[in-house]
Structure 1
Amino acid sequence: MSYDFDLFVIGGGSGGVRMARIAAGHGARVAVAEERFWGGTCVNVGCVPKKLMVQAAEYGHWAEDAAAFGWDIRKGAHDWAKLAAARDAEVTRLSAIYGRLLQGAGVTSFDARATFEDAHTLRVGDQRITAERIVVATGGRATRLDIPGAELGLISDDLFTLPALPKKVAILGAGYIALEFAGLLHGLGAEVEVFHRSPQVLRGFDNDVRLCLTEAMTAQGIRMEGGVNATRLSRLDDGRILLSLSNNGMRDVDAVFFCTGRVPNTEGLGLERAGVKVAEGGAIPVDDDHATNIPHIFAIGDVTDRLNLTPMATAVGHALADTLYGGNPRRASYENVPTAIFTSPPVGTVGLGEEEAARRGPVDIYLTRFTPMRHTITKREGMRVMMKLVVCQESQRILGAHMVGEDAAEIMQGIGIAVRMGATKADFDRTIGIHPTAAEEFVTLRTRTRVAGVTADAAE
């Protein structure tokens, strides 16, 4: 059968665009459809604008710190509109690059919604288009809690359209988006309180990371309350919002952010007409090669709900294009993927946390906490560093590395290479530290803090 395209990608985010470009470079006839904005969530309402706002908040902290180093810098009022204009200009620039990259690669792009009519046919805007292979790369979307008055609350996308900084903010959630928003809004001058139903924040992360970040944020003046649910939002006469809580508490605030999770963006795609199975919650199950139950239909990125990180989606898209069209069958590994949380202070992590590693066998734990050089001078609260190595006791291989502290994201990128390559504790010990830095602590940890994962029989 003759098709209009060899490959059609639904979704113009990082994963979909990379998949399309590489496939076209291998000679395939490729098209991409994007209904909202090129570059997807990350570029437009996610990683990029969020980090710019995190950096804006850091300047306020640095202005306060400057006096300790002899600078007469006065921290004035923050200009939200000026920040928003600069942020939006950068987002527009980056989004346009995605379109140019596709054009340069010879990819046909559609500014339209694409839905399935059958397993090889798509309705793209008002056109009917066929493709030999189809990739779903539609990402995820933010959700609100199912409570009365939920429509009065904001989702993460809404941060980037606010006309002004809300002075008093309630954030619902305990994941990385909730904590990043708490840090940046607090840094820009808002009064922030975080409510989460779980006892601790950052479910799935190393426990020392969770505890240290909570301690740091609390020390900076962000109020954290666990074990509590939001039950209702109501509009007050003055336009503010009344947040009701499961512990009978109430807060009147200027804004409530729902940072309570994201779901795969599969609703309304017509996947059932193509015969593609969808799991409860909307994720598309895939095999190790990212094929769905229909062999010529694939899914990549957050829509699979496997590891929802932009670089992961990009790597998978590249590998899949090489496999299908480049004569180079390969897979992007989901193991030992470094990641960061741009809180204040930030978190960097790669590999296994202590709790998960200990379930697999005995591990040696090396942990240190200290005040970094800058803040021995500034005395700023909540900026202590935590560094941790999780080491397999038998092989001495580094199973996980974790850091809470300034520059954690930059440091962890390098550590991630070592962990991915299978470095041992002895390899770290033989590496000469760069002095004076916080990073050198990773290669000067000599005293084992504790052993975890030893069974009762082994201990006897």
Structure 2
Amino acid sequence: MSYDFDLFVIGGGSGGIATARRAAEYGAKVGLAEMGRLGGTCVNRGCIPKKLMVYTSHFPSLFQESEGYGWSPVKSTLNWTKMITAVQAEVERLNGIYQGMLDRSKVQLYSAYGKLIDPHTVEVGDTKVTADKILIAVGGYPVKPDIPGKEHLVISDAMFELPEQPKRVVVWGGGYIGVEFACIMQGLGSEVIQIIRQDKILRGFDEDIRSTIQEGMEKHGIRILNNCSISAVEKTSDGLKISLAGENCEEMILADTVGLAATGRIPNLSNLGLENTAIEVKNGAIVVDEHSRTAEPNIYAVGDCTDRINLTPVAINEGRAFADTEFGGKPRIMSHQNVPSAVFSYPEAATVGLTEEEAKQQYGEDKIKVYRSKFRPMYYVLPNKEEKTLMKLIVHQESDKVLGAHMVGDHAAEIIQGVAIAVKMGATKADFDATVGIHPSSAEEFVTMR
């Protein structure tokens, strides 16, 4: 049967665009549907604008620390409008780059929603197109808990468009999005209260990482209310009146106009027409096999809509593995083991491999040896600041294999990215020990721990 396209992609985020371009490189005729701005969550409402705001939030500390090195005191104020405008300008620049990449790859873009009519037909606006294979890469979106006054809370998307800097911000949620925005806003000078449902932030991360970041955040002035939740929000002349529920919680706190609900994201599956196919949905996500194939043999899905590992580089790798296999004659499977990740908090954290708890559960507590180092980096000696860096290796004693590497401290993401290669390759503790460190650096601690 003849189709309009060899591949049609629904979703113009990082995963969808990467897949479309890779398939086109192999000679496939590709179409792509995206109603919003190209680049998806990462470029428009996530990784990129958030990291730019992270950079912005670090300058007050740098100004202060410079005095320890002999620089005169710096008096500087943030021009919020200039910062937000510059961030949005960079986002728009990246949108144009993505458009150019699609054009050069000869991927036909449809600026409309894509809806499945049957396993080989997609309705795009007023048009219907057919495709041999279809890829769903529609990502996810943040949701607010259903409480009275939830309309007065904002989601993370809105943080990049605030017209002015709030003086008091309440952040609801202890995941990485809530943690990162709490640190950003505190660094920019806002008073921040973070409300978390558990004892600690960052559920699922290594316990030492959770404790070290939380201690650092509180030391920097963020007030964390644990074992609490928001029960209602009311807009008053004094700001947002936020009612709390939970043991040992205050009854009410106030924010300015900003209460951020960072309590979770879900796959963006509404109005996709999945009911017109055999695609299975479980726990709100599209079910796929190791090849990213759905229950409909010619339809695939990658990225956050499958709710496997919700990271931009994972979506890109999943999509490229699909394109390599189906169009490039280079069959491969995206491995979801030992995927590194980072939390751009203050202090920053990064991790790869198993946590200490996971390793003990998998191999047995007596089979695991933990190497841990906590120290003040040289940079903070002259400013006389008690900032701490934590480094940790999880090692399987029988094989000497490094099962996990974790870090909290400056440049953790940059350092763990390199360590992740070693962990992915199956390096042993002896391999780490045999590696000469770069001195003086914090990173050398990973090869000198005893």
TM range (shorter): over 0.9
Matches of 1:37 and 1:221 in 2, distance apart? 36
Question: Which of residues 430, 445, 451 in structure 1 aligns to 2:449?
Answer: 445
TM alignment of 1:87-106, pairs within 5 A = 87-106=87-106
The answer on 1:409 being equivalent to 2:413 is yes
Give how far 1:275 is off: 2.6
**Match for residue 370 of structure 2?**
365
Matches of 2:131 and 2:346 in 1, distance apart? 46
Give how far 1:117 is off: 1.3
SS at match of 2:282: coil
Give how far 1:360 is off: 1.5
The answer on 1:249 being equivalent to 2:251 is yes
Displacement over 2 Å in runs of 4+: none
Question: Which of residues 293, 312, 315 in structure 2 aligns to 1:313?
Answer: 315
Give how far 1:274 is off: 2.0
Matches of 2:117 and 2:106 in 1, distance apart? 26
The answer on 1:432 being equivalent to 2:436 is yes
Give how far 1:248 is off: 5.0
SS at match of 1:356: helix
Letter in 2 for 1:268: N
Question: Which of residues 346, 349, 355 in structure 2 aligns to 1:347?
Answer: 349
**Match for residue 147 of structure 1?**
147
Which string of whole-angstrom CA distances, capped at 9 and with x for unpartnered residues, describes residues 229-288 of structure 1? 1100001124x10110003521111111000010001111111112311113x2001001
**Match for residue 390 of structure 1?**
394
Flag structure 1 segments of 5+ consecutive residues without an equivalent.
447-460
**Match for residue 455 of structure 1?**
none
The answer to whether the 8 A contact 1:60-1:75 is kept is no
**Match for residue 172 of structure 2?**
172
Letter in 2 for 1:403: M
The answer to whether the 8 A contact 2:137-2:303 is kept is yes
Matches of 1:338 and 1:161 in 2, distance apart? 30
The answer to whether the 8 A contact 1:64-1:75 is kept is no
Matches of 1:94 and 1:22 in 2, distance apart? 19
SS at match of 2:286: coil
SS at match of 1:221: coil
SS at match of 2:234: strand
**Match for residue 325 of structure 2?**
323
Matches of 1:184 and 1:13 in 2, distance apart? 25
Give how far 1:89 is off: 1.1
Matches of 1:96 and 1:416 in 2, distance apart? 32
**Match for residue 61 of structure 1?**
61
TM alignment of 1:283-298, pairs within 5 A = 283-298=285-300
The answer to whether the 8 A contact 1:139-1:301 is kept is yes
The answer on 1:237 being equivalent to 2:237 is yes
The answer to whether the 8 A contact 2:290-2:334 is kept is no
**Match for residue 29 of structure 2?**
29
SS at match of 2:17: helix
Letter in 1 for 2:279: V
**Match for residue 263 of structure 1?**
266
Give how far 1:165 is off: 1.0
Matches of 2:381 and 2:212 in 1, distance apart? 18
Matches of 2:117 and 2:93 in 1, distance apart? 34
Matches of 1:61 and 1:165 in 2, distance apart? 18
The answer to whether the 8 A contact 2:168-2:255 is kept is yes
The answer to whether the 8 A contact 2:209-2:407 is kept is yes
Matches of 2:337 and 2:96 in 1, distance apart? 32
Matches of 2:56 and 2:343 in 1, distance apart? 16
Matches of 1:166 and 1:348 in 2, distance apart? 29
The answer to whether the 8 A contact 2:415-2:443 is kept is yes
Matches of 1:415 and 1:75 in 2, distance apart? 39
Matches of 2:128 and 2:338 in 1, distance apart? 42
Letter in 2 for 1:71: W
TM alignment of 1:110-259, pairs within 5 A = 110-238=110-238, 240-246=239-245, 247-254=249-256, 255-259=258-262
Which string of whole-angstrom CA distances, capped at 9 and with x for unpartnered residues, describes residues 343-388 of structure 1? 011101000000000012221000011111111222335x210000
Matches of 1:35 and 1:305 in 2, distance apart? 22
The answer to whether the 8 A contact 2:279-2:287 is kept is no
Letter in 2 for 1:303: C
The answer to whether the 8 A contact 1:194-1:224 is kept is yes
What TM-score, normalized by structure 1, do the two folds share?
A: 0.95
The answer to whether the 8 A contact 2:115-2:122 is kept is yes
Letter in 2 for 1:306: R
Letter in 1 for 2:322: L
Matches of 2:159 and 2:122 in 1, distance apart? 33
Letter in 2 for 1:369: K
Which string of whole-angstrom CA distances, capped at 9 and with x for unpartnered residues, describes residues 44-88 of structure 1? 110000000000011111011111111014132111111111111
Give me the CA root mean square deviation: 0.9
**Match for residue 374 of structure 1?**
379
The answer to whether the 8 A contact 2:347-2:409 is kept is yes
Letter in 2 for 1:371: R
SS at match of 1:423: coil
Matches of 2:31 and 2:422 in 1, distance apart? 38
**Match for residue 6 of structure 2?**
6
Give how far 1:438 is off: 0.4
Matches of 2:357 and 2:391 in 1, distance apart? 16
Give how far 1:137 is off: 0.1
What TM-score, normalized by structure 2, do the two folds share?
A: 0.97
SS at match of 1:359: helix
The answer to whether the 8 A contact 1:7-1:135 is kept is yes
**Match for residue 50 of structure 1?**
50
Letter in 2 for 1:416: A
SS at match of 1:186: helix
